């Protein structure tokens, strides 16, 4: 208490001056629309500057984590490249010839809003229609599948997260090629369910689950997760729990993928109906 009194006694003139300055600015802004606008713009600019510095500091402190994500992504790309090359020259050209036979376009973005605690989770990306984003585009993280674009504005997009009970993606066991459907049961954000895999198929814990490419949304071979545990049910299919590759609580940088041949595929399917 004595220290506080000593402080007030020493600096009471400065404190009184600052207090009167605040009152003067308030009265000036309140009685004059021009000064009010200038003050509000100044405060808004100061707020944006502080937020920008805080975001910069936050991203700087996360450089180690970001580097780990980039390393994981590079490893996945190298692995896909090796598998494409080993499959033959024609398959390699069809998948990756960026000049004449490109199948997909890629756009990077940052997640600006995300939820993981409800049964219907979404996340928002800082890219929108003016960047070429449209509904039904795939979204992947550095580790694997993240979601699907369901809505866009000029500058932002909203994606249906894998952690949404309405999300489904066609996926297969890399080891055997048998495919089924991956969905989320609304419980743990680190795990999902792979269904429709027959019980005669050989499965092991740790087996890789990847996209099939059967839809016009996700390319083939994108990592979904790994088999965590499985059991035979009373029916014809396994109950398979998978560990998701994407860590949704740390979702930050993503890639948006557009299928350049989507319209052609859909028109062909419609003609056959």
The torsion angles phi and psi of 144, rounded to 5 degrees, stand at 170, -155
What is the share, in percent, of the chain residues with pLDDT greater than 90? Answer: 47
pLDDT tens readout for residues 98-156: 444 567 888 888 899 999 999 999 999 999 999 999 999 999 998 999 999 999 999 99
Range name among 43-57, 93-107, 142-156, 233-247 with the lowest pLDDT average: 93-107
Give the phi and the psi of residue 34 in degrees, each rounded to 5: -65, -50
Per-residue burial over 12-26, b if 16 or more Cβ lie within 10 Å, else e, is eeeeeeeeeeeeeee
The tens digit of pLDDT for each residue in 6-45 reads: 766 777 787 877 878 777 766 666 666 665 666 666 666 6
Nearest to 121 by CA among 167, 156, 155, 190: 167
For the chain, where do the domains classified as CATH 2.40.10.340 start and end?
103-273
Quote the pLDDT of residue 28: 65
Indicate left, alpha or beta for 231 from its phi (over 0: left) and psi (-120 to 50: alpha).
beta
Structure tokens at 227: 């088999």
The dihedrals phi and psi of 264, each to the nearest 5 degrees, come to: -60, -45
Beta bridge pairs of residue 151: 158
Alpha helices in the chain (DSSP H): 2-31, 33-61, 63-86, 89-96, 262-272
* Nearest residue to 214 via CA among 177, 184, 244: 177
Q: Domain 103-273 belongs to what topology? A: Thrombin, subunit H (2.40.10)
- The rounded distance, in Å, linking the Cα atoms of 106 and 98 is 11
Angstrom distance (rounded) from CA 125 to CA 192: 23
Q: How much is the pLDDT for 91?
A: 35
Q: Which of residues 66 and 34 earns the better pLDDT score?
A: 66
| Secondary structure of residue 75 in the 3-state scheme | helix
pTM of the model: 0.66
DSSP tag of 132? T
């Amino acid at each position: 208490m004595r220290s506080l009194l000593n402080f007030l006694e020493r600096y009471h003139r400065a404190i009184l001056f600052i207090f009167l300055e605040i009152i003067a600015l308030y009265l000036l802004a309140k009685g004059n629309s021009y000064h009010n606008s200038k003050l509000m713009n100044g405060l808004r600019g100061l707020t944006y500057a502080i937020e920008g510095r805080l975001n910069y500091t936050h991203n700087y402190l996360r450089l180690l984590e970001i580097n780990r994500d980039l390393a994981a992504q590079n490893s996945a790309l190298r692995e896909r490249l090796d598998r494409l090359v080993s499959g033959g020259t024609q398959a390699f050209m069809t998948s990756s010839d960026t000049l004449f036979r490109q199948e997909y376009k890629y756009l990077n973005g940052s997640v600006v809003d995300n939820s993981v605690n409800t049964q219907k989770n979404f996340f928002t990306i800082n890219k929108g229609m003016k960047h070429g984003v449209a509904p039904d585009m795939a979204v992947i993280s550095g580790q694997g599948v993240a979601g699907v674009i369901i809505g866009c504005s000029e500058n932002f997009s909203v994606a249906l997260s894998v952690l949404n009970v309405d999300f489904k993606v066609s996926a297969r066991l890399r080891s055997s090629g048998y495919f089924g459907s991956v969905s989320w049961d609304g419980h743990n954000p680190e795990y999902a369910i792979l269904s429709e895999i027959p019980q005669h198929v050989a499965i092991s814990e740790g087996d890789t689950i990847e996209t099939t490419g059967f839809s016009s949304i996700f390319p083939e071979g994108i990592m979904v997760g790994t088999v965590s545990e499985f059991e035979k049910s009373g029916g014809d299919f396994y109950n398979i729990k998978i560990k998701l590759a994407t860590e949704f609580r740390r979702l930050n940088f993503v890639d948006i993928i557009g299928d350049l041949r989507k319209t052609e595929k859909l028109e062909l399917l419609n003609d056959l109906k």
